[in-house]
Amino acid sequence: MILKLIFFTLIIGTQSLFGINYDFKADSLRGSLGDIITFGWNIEHDQASELSIGKISLDGTGIELLGQKQSETASGTNLELQTAVYDSIGIYQFPPLVVYLKGANAIDSLLLPGPDLEIYSILTISDTTFRDIKGLHRIKLPFNLVILIWLCAFGVVVYLIYYLIKRYSKRSREVIDTKIIIPPEQAHIIALRDLDKLKRSKYLSFEQYKEFHSELTRILRQYFENRYLIDALELTTSEFMLKMELIVEFNEYALMTREILETADLIKFAKRSSNELKSGEALNSAFIIIYRTKLKEDLELTN
């Protein structure tokens, strides 16, 4: 390889074109995949001239240019390139490089022939030798399988005991914490007064639909809480409807009530749009539900 490098240097070594001399230099043009190969030229020229390098195109060569360094010397310019190859092994031809020398009155050019880069495999003979697949190796566990099964069973029993105790305690608290609802007035009187107040509010005039439907559902839930003695204000819509659908006389108005509550949930939490007409229809539906579900004795007093 050293003889090849010397021969290459003698062939392209000291040449002259329009008074420009150059010498090729490289420690080695051979390396493995990914190795950095450095080479360059010492270009002798007039110091009054300015040297520039043409565009280096490596498309399709498989060579990558990692660095380019140009420095001035006492006799001219030193040009150094750093390259590498990552594709595969083989011989790679670095393309010719054009340099330009701009003087006071003219521009000279010089074509520097590119060297051959030899890339060899980084694998050793042992790396390319195929070996038989080894059989399965049994690993002896440091614990007894029977003991592990007993521990798992014990853990399941402890969890079941904990779950049952927690569930019983929760039911006990629910019984103890049951709210006793005693409305200060008849349920429909409170609700109708609040609905009338909501009707005269400015929510719809100022397009405050979220606030309007929040107050509407509160009034309706408060009515059912006072009317049927259930904790309606603290239940979700689905939980509330499950309890109310058990009341036979309410079934006729269940669909209308669900529509009011679910529409309000969409407006409050899903930012669903609304308008004055739809909100007014929800308010009228609430009036109808209260009028038709209040106690019969209240109806007789009203009539």
CA distance readout (Å), 225 to 37, 185, 186, 262, 292: 86, 12, 11, 18, 16
Rg (CA), the chain: 46
- Residue 135 is predicted with a pLDDT of 67
Residue 296: what pLDDT?
Answer: 67
According to the model, what pLDDT value does residue 196 have? 92
- pLDDT value at residue 19: 61
**DSSP secondary structure code for residue 130 in this structure:** -
How many angstroms separate the CA atoms of 70 and 40, rounded? Answer: 10
Q: State the Cα–Cα distance between residues 260 and 240, nearest whole angstrom.
A: 13
Residue 163, classified by CB atoms within 10 Å of its CB into exposed (0-12), middle (13-18) or buried (19+), is exposed
Please give the structure tokens belonging to residue 40: 């360059």
Buried b / exposed e over 270-293, threshold 16 CB at 10 Å, is eeeebeeeebeebbebbeebbeeb
pLDDT tens digits, residue range 43-64?
Answer: 888 777 788 888 888 888 889 9
Helices within the chain (DSSP H only):
2-12, 145-176, 187-199, 209-228, 237-244, 254-269, 276-293, 296-302
- Ordered strands of the 97-102 beta sheet: 50-53, 97-102, 107-112
Provide CB contacts within 8 A for 81, sequence distance 6+: 38, 39, 40, 65, 67, 68, 69
* Confidence (pLDDT) at 10: 41
Transcribe 93-114 into DSSP letters: EPPPEEEEEE-SS-EEEEEEPP
Taking every pair of Cα atoms in the chain, the longest distance, rounded to a whole number of angstroms, is 124
- DSSP bridge pairs for 70: 79
Number of Cβ within a 10 Å radius of residue 11: 10
Which of the residues in the chain have pLDDT under 70?
1-19, 122-132, 134-135, 137-143, 170-184, 296-303
Residue 95 DSSP one-character state: P
Q: How far apart are CA 7 and CA 13, in angstroms?
A: 9
> What pLDDT sits at residue 217?
93
Provide the token pair at 19: 């008074």
Q: Are 115 and 39 in contact (CB under 8 A)?
A: yes
Residue boundaries of the structural domains of the chain = 2-120, 187-302
Overall pTM > 0.95: no
- Dist. CA 43–CA 45, nearest whole Å: 6
Report pLDDT for 281.
92
Helix (H, G, I), strand (E, B) or coil at 208: coil
CATH 2.60.40, applies to 2-120:
yes
122 and 129 Cβ atoms separated by less than 8 Å? no
Q: What is the pLDDT of residues 81-134, one digit of tens each?
A: 999 988 888 899 999 988 888 877 777 788 888 899 998 876 655 555 656 676
